[in-house]
Amino acid sequence: MQLIIQRESLIIFKYGGTWIDASVLKTKYEEIFFKKDLFFFNLSSWFITSEKDSPVLKTTRDLLYEYWRKENYLCYYFLFHKFFQIAYNIYKNDFFDMPHFSNVPEHYLQGYLMKKMNDKVYLNIIHNVSVHKLNMKFMRKNFNKKNSFFKYILNKYL
């Protein structure tokens, strides 16, 4: 975990660009997520767009370095988010034009992954949300569950 959270902040800090976790599904393109100096969903680390040398990501990186210099275990799963929040609060006046999006709707589809596929529910979700944070942490026996949202997504997008 420590390598992942440091890697994403280092890569974007050094080069700029967009970090999207492998467990994110995009069902349509929205330019607003990619054309800002800084963009993220409510202090989430699974989708971040940033300019090169962002002061927010530099501060986040520095806080992570300092933490890992002193510690060898992760005391809190959302440590990156806390440091990211601290850094953003320091520089938030520099990003007053950044669009703010809750990260709650982006998790809706995640709650349906193992449920029986329902076209009406699926279409309603993707009509209202274009970025979906999915979670692949479910029991192995459910992986091949037939007629699930998960199977539908695999067949449609892979």
CA proximity to 24, closest of 101, 109, 102, 85: 109
Decide if pLDDT at 139 tops 60: no
Domains of the chain, residue spans: 2-95, 105-157
Looking at per-residue confidence, does 121 or 95 come out higher?
A: 121
Tell me the pLDDT tens digit for each residue of 84-101: 889 989 998 877 777 888
Is 34 or 141 the better-scoring residue by pLDDT? Answer: 34
Res 70: pLDDT: 94
pTM value?
A: 0.82
Ramachandran bin of 16, using left for φ above 0, alpha for ψ from -120 to 50, beta for the remaining angles: left
